[in-house]
Structure 1
Amino acid sequence: MQESEIWSAGRPTQPIAEAASLMERVLFEVKRVVVGQDVFLERMLIAILAQGHLLIEGVPGLAKTLTVNTLAKTIQGSFKRIQFTPDLLPADLVGTQIFNQKESEFSTVLGPVFTNLLLADEINRAPAKVQSALLEVMQERQVTIAGTSHKVPSPFLVMATQNPIETEGTYPLPEAQVDRFMMKVQIGYPSDSEEFVIVQRVIGDPIHVSPVASTEQLQALQAQSRQGYVDPALIEYAVRIVAATRDPKRSGLAELERFITFGASPRATIGLIEGARALGFLRGRAYVLPQDVVDLAFDVLRHRIVLSYEALAEGITADEIIRQILKAVPRPEKPLENHVQLP
């Protein structure tokens, strides 16, 4: 058997290379509209394959809404955008029951969370009770209204944005909700050449996006991605990385203890492995390498490390702590030595 095939129930499914090619076509179609943001786009595809959620931090005007809307069109999925404001109510997100006077009974009206791609714009501008309304749907993929559960469509991805340069009128996200985001991606300004192309595309003829895949195909890719092989040594590697954020002294990083109030939860370890498996799938492999884990470590961990006041005072960032942890924790030497090829 070729290494590029995944087996399911004793029979090979479509080759990994063919599946990765489909995701590449989705990415190419999005990049016909969106200029740059390569890391952001790759993380979106990883989140879809691994069925996670994204927290995006970036200043206004960096095409966050355009990117998600374009991706929804390429996969023929539904897209909804919610502008979070201080007067937003939980019912505005998940839905509510309305009394029908003609029939003298209550009917359920589902909210905008019932979509494939949900953009929660400036999520930190709504109070905690509204932010918490997303907790159930992000974790359980369902909403409970008046004691009845309603499943959201599949695939389902929440992409929440927050503005790092404004703090007035904002509410910090509860730690329980932050932890439910698989990754936090930071978006920067485009380069001069990218900004030149952006202006050219805006003043030119509009670009029409063509559908590349269906939501059914995407669900099949999600299932296929989850069949990728993860060596136990890589799981141990991810556990050691996350454990170092809780007790740096065990990894020989006692000097970091004063900078960390709380480390990452077990969701970080799960997110590292799930994301790395999806990243290996995108790269055309049916197995995970240590580099896949390293490449996602910053995005998976940066929002889960609670910094101390001392770290904030000295300008120490979560990324700097993660960088030192990755240097201190040794990588597995032979992460695929237990990988048994099927005949």
Structure 2
Amino acid sequence: MRIDRFSHLDWQGILSGIAQDVEPHLGQGRVADYIPALAEQDPRAFAMAFTSLRGETYAVGQSDRPFSIQSISKVFTLVLALQLEGEGLWSRVGREPSGTPFNSIVQLEREKGRPRNPFINAGAIAVTDSVVGHCGSASPAQTILSFVRRCAGSDAPAIDERVAASERDYGDRNRALGYFMKSFGVVKNAVPDVLDTYFSQCAIAMSAAELSRAGLFLAGGGNDPRTGEAISDHERVDRVNATMMLCGHYDMSGDFAFRVGLAGKSGVGGGILAVIPEVGCVTVWSPGLNAAGNSLAGTLALEWFSERTGVNLF
């Protein structure tokens, strides 16, 4: 197993050193304010957690404090949708970097309603539509939440209803994306139902430690190494990780790959999940965002983590 190559590392000491070095950078960037419920976050908050394939979790900062994972939820919804619909899902959403802001509608006009990838808002709405269409009488939002809890091995992750309500109140751009895709047949279900589910999934709250455990199956070829349970299959997980590497940080995905060298997914709540195949999963949370909507201090912390451990893929 690849993790054996890193058995000499003092993971806790490395995280502690990063937390100390990142402290002067906390408070930089801009907290997401277009969702009012997120605007109240402390810009100096910080957490970092790493869970290895051996099931050991190391953490620093406010690693047990729940935060809104926002677009990180798109990774779990994508895995779930692929299980429900299969590879046919890719006929509705692409796998290419967008090079545009995460809520852009411009490319949809040019590309006849097919989103460029599943991690921009339009693509994630199309993926959520797939889940809605396969849930029958079950609540699709609760189906997604149950899947996240299963991955985390915990019932603690929950939908923050205040954040979800704020998303709905200020989600007109996402509604426009949904109806535009509906006009091309990409979205197949009632747009209000799809958007209600989408707003709820983005409002899932969990801690950095829980998130690092939830992402562990992405490092383990689809298997949860703590239980041996198959969450997904190896080939599908490899493709999801590849899509994260290309598209997980909006129009700064290339910069993240260049600096960090890991597949990852960010969220405007300030969280980032990064996957180290056959080693583990590392997460950070710091609400101050850079111009692309990615955690500023979190990205820096992951860059140092990659350098100091040598876990990057290149």
Give the structure-2-normalised TM-score.
0.29
Instruction: Say which structure is richer in strand.
Output: 1
Give the structure-1-normalised TM-score.
0.27
- The structure with the largest alpha-carbon Rg is 1
RCO greater where, 1 or 2, for CA within 8 Å and sep 6 or more?
Answer: 2
